[in-house]
Amino acid sequence: MRFDGDGETTNKPAPDILPGRACSAKTKGDITVAEDKKVMDAGQAEEQQAERAHVVKLDRPVKFEQKEYTEIDLGGLDGMTIQDAIDAQRSLLDQNEAACSLLCETTTAFAMEIAARASGLPIELFKTMPRDAGKRVQAEVLRHISKNRQNAGKVMRLEKPYYFKGEQYTEFDLSGIADMSVMQESAAENVLAREGFIIAETSFNFLYACVLASMAVNQPKELFTGLPLCDLLNLKESVKATDFFE
């Protein structure tokens, strides 16, 4: 029973919605669905952003073999390892790219070699592209191999946990390098020779850094050659740290 507008009682049930009024109430289920959709949309946006993280936009199209390129997708960089850098350095030295025997990571030839491997595109595309496009590609490669430089003295810290033969690593204590003998140094040089490297200055060689680090922690060199490519300069600089010999 309820009172109507004239003060009299009536047995009619009250309407769910009063005439002329909009219903804006949401159920708990509606809110949950909406929030879930926002989370899904945000997740998809992050995935799309990650997929485009290494896409190099070109100021002008690059023509190669009857095809135009307005961008170069270097998304493969995230799946590459230090072994890829070692293979690229060896290949370039075999091609008489003398500059790669010193600061290899700063050379145009190294960047183009890594870009070709990361993109799956022919190396000829990168060798013949205009200089401005090449500089953009080189900058992206250098940015990637330089982004994780977290060494702290004798300790090399990793950006993300790294797994090798069932073990997890977040950092490496390379202090053992200071205690290495001349015989071990010679052994490291012999590894380079067996792997096809004939160079005068070993400290610029990527494989040499891996071998020294492996000796410091008494582990196989594959522990370091399998590190993500983004740890390349992190490893190289950690091995060469001056405070090992202070």
DSSP letter at 102 equals S
More confident residue, 95 or 6: 95
Among left, alpha and beta (phi > 0; psi -120 to 50; other), residue 153 is: left
Is 70 exceeded by the pLDDT of residue 155?
Answer: yes
pLDDT tens-digit readout, 42-98: 545 444 555 578 999 999 999 999 999 999 999 999 999 999 999 999 999 999 998
The whole-number pLDDT of residue 23 equals 47
Q: How many residues does the chain have?
A: 246
pLDDT tens-digit readout, 46-57: 445 555 789 999
- How much of the chain is helix, strand and coil, in % rounded to 5? 55, 15, 30
| Cα torsion through 53, 148, 206, 175, rounded to 10 | -160
Closest alpha carbon to 206 in 80, 93, 82, 96: 82
Question: What's the average model confidence in pLDDT over 185-195?
Answer: 93
Q: Which helix (H) or strand (E) holds 50?
A: helix 28-51
DSSP states of 177-226 as a string? Answer: GGG--HHHHHHHHHHHHHTT---S-GGG-HHHHHHHHHHHHTS-THHHHT
The whole-number pLDDT of residue 131 equals 95
- Is residue 174 within 8 A of residue 155, CB to CB? The reply is yes
Q: How far is CA 13 from the centre of its chain?
A: 66
Is 90 exceeded by the pLDDT of residue 25?
Answer: no
The whole-number pLDDT of residue 51 equals 57
pLDDT tens-digit readout, 98-152: 889 888 999 999 999 999 999 999 999 999 999 999 999 999 999 999 877 666 6
Single-letter amino acid, residue 26: K
Closest alpha carbon to 83 in 185, 228, 195: 228
pLDDT tens-digit readout, 192-227: 999 988 877 888 899 999 999 999 999 999 999 999
Closest alpha carbon to 133 in 111, 118, 103, 117: 111
User: Cα(113)–Cα(89) distance, rounded to whole angstroms?
Assistant: 9
The whole-number pLDDT of residue 50 equals 52
Number of Cβ within a 10 Å radius of residue 111? 23
At residue 162, the 3 state secondary structure works out as strand
| All residues at 6 or more sequence positions from 103 whose CB lies less than 8 Å from its CB, including other chains | 204
pLDDT tens-digit readout, 27-43: 666 666 666 666 555 54
